[in-house]
Amino acid sequence: MDLRHLSAAVLTISLLSGCSIPIDEQAKDLVAELPNALLHAASTTTKAPAASESVQIYMAHLRDDDRMLLEAVDRDISGDGSINVILDKVLAGPTAAEHESEFISPFAEGSTVIGTVLVDGLLEIHLDSLDGFPQDDSAGNRLAFAMLVCTAVNLVAGADIDRVTILLESPDGLEAINVPVSDGDPPEEGAPVTCGNYIGFLDGGLTDPDDPGRPSGS
C-alpha cells in the first residue's frame, strides 16, 4: 500500500471512531437487521388460477340416419359463469374430440354474444351480428338457432328461462329479429320462441300432442 492509500485508510478509521460507529472485525448481513417496513416486498406476479365450473350446452350430432339432433355435452368455463359465457361456447362449436365423434356445427366465425337480459322467464340474447349463422333458409340455419335457444331454456342451471328473443346490434340500437323455427307456427315478427319450436332436433323428435313443447314420451 503506498503512502497516499495508507493515509486515507487511517483518516477513515479516525472519522469512524470519532463518530462512535462501532467497527466489526467480520462482515454482517445488514439486510436481516432492517425493519420490515424497509424490506422489499415479495414478488406478486403469480396469480391464482381463475375458478372454473362445468356446464352443459347443446351441440349438433350427426346420426347414422343423417339426422342432425341436439345432444348435451360438457364444457368447463371460467370467469363469472354468466349466460353470455355459456352461450358463447355454443357459437364456438365442437371440440376436436367431438368432431371425431360426428358432432358438427352450423356456425362460422362472426357472431358474438354481447349481452343477455333475463326478466320473468324471458331471456333476451344480444348478438353483434348474424355473420356466423348460415345465411339461407336451410336446416342448418334453423339448427343454429335451436342450439342457442334450447341451451338457454333447458341447460342453463339456476336460471328460470322458458322463452327467448334474439336482438341484433344495429346503428339504431338493439332490434329484435324474426327467429326462424323448425316446428310449430312461425312466431310473429320479433316474438319470443321456445325450445318447443325446435322439438324435431331433440332426441325423440316427435311432439307430445298434449303439450307441443315436450317430446313424446317425456
- Residue 204, pLDDT score: 64
93 close to 143: Cβ distance less than 8 angstroms: no
pLDDT, tens digit, 9 for 90 and up, residues 119-143: 999 999 999 999 999 988 889 999 9
- Residue 130, pLDDT score: 95
State the DSSP code for 155.
I
Q: Which residue has the higher pLDDT, 81 or 38?
A: 81
- Residue 31, pLDDT score: 40
164 close to 192: Cβ distance less than 8 angstroms: yes
| pLDDT over 60 at 89, yes or no | yes
147 close to 70: Cβ distance less than 8 angstroms: yes
- Residue 205, pLDDT score: 54
pLDDT, tens digit, 9 for 90 and up, residues 53-71: 899 999 999 888 888 999 9
- Residue 66, pLDDT score: 83
